[in-house]
Amino acid sequence: MSRIYRFLDERLNLGPLIRGIADHEVPAHADPLKNLSAMIYCFGGIVFFILLLQALTGVFLMLYYVPSPEDAYASVNYIQNETSFGSFVRGIHQVGASAAVVMVSLHMARVVFTGSYKKPRELNWIVGIFLLLVVAGFCFTGYLLPWDQKAYWATTVGVNMVATIPLVGDFLADALRGGKEVGSLTLVRFFVIHVMFLPAFLVFFLAAHFFMVRRQGLSRPL
């Protein structure tokens, strides 16, 4: 391992890069080894870790999942009952989704209570809000994919909530559903939003989020 690293380092001079990414001082007030309650500063990192798990398990679930009304339920059933570790992989993805929402909430609460959203970090708060929307989008679109009764009605209700927006609501709802009713088009577009559009937004906003944290450093508590 270290020999491979030395080989690469000799040629590519990785040292400064790695120091730039991984080797920086944790400020004393955010160091859980000094003060256990500083764990609250880990919430964002935990969210990131969960998102990585979601991406990994999500990619593997796509090996079997088929986003069509005829096949969706049967393919999920197949994952669940006929593949090895299928219920485990899907279980991580399912529990991970809830865990992500919980940790995002805690992360936001920490940022609010330490006043970290204030100048000069307002921009990062705004990017964070976009990330919140992306995560919510993942949850909403992912919920439909098993194509069971719960999924179907949750989406029906969710999209009808969009329809209550004055003036443009109905149009937005139709655009989201791909028509007047939840059906094949809804399933495919929710799937594609879930596995292509949202991940792209996620990567973009996460990069901005991390860039700003590193530029500005952790805020001190109030």
Query: Where on the chain is the footprint of other proteins (CB under 8 A)?
Result: 53, 56-57, 60, 63-64, 66, 71, 74-75, 77-78, 82-86, 88-89
Between 84 and 164, CB nearer to other proteins: 84
In the numeric block, which tokens belong to residue 168? 């443009």
Nearer to other proteins, 88 or 113 (CB): 88
CB of 65 to other proteins, least distance (A): 10
- Nearest one of 15, 14, 16, 25 to 214, comparing CA atoms: 25
Answer for the pair 141, 193: CB distance below 8 angstroms, yes or no. yes
Q: What is the crossing angle of helices 149-163 and 169-177, to 10°?
A: 150
Query: Least distance to other proteins from the beta carbon of 146, Å?
Result: 13
Q: CA–CA separation, 124 vs 113, rounded Å?
A: 16
- Of residues 26 and 168, the one with the C-beta less far from other proteins: 26
Task: Report helix angle 198-216 to 122-144, nearest 10.
Answer: 160
Q: Which is nearer to other proteins, 59 or 161 (CB)?
A: 59
* Cβ-contact 216, 120 below 8 angstroms: yes
User: To the nearest whole angstrom, how small is the minimum distance from the Cβ of residue 8 to other proteins?
Assistant: 19
**Shortest distance, position 76 Cβ to other proteins, whole Å:** 8
Alpha carbons within 13 A on the beta-carbon side of 57: 20
- Give CA–CA dist 30/7, Å, rounded: 35
- Closer of 56 and 163 to other proteins (Cβ): 56
CB of 84 to other proteins, least distance (A): 4
Cβ-based neighbour number of residue 192 at 10 Å: 13
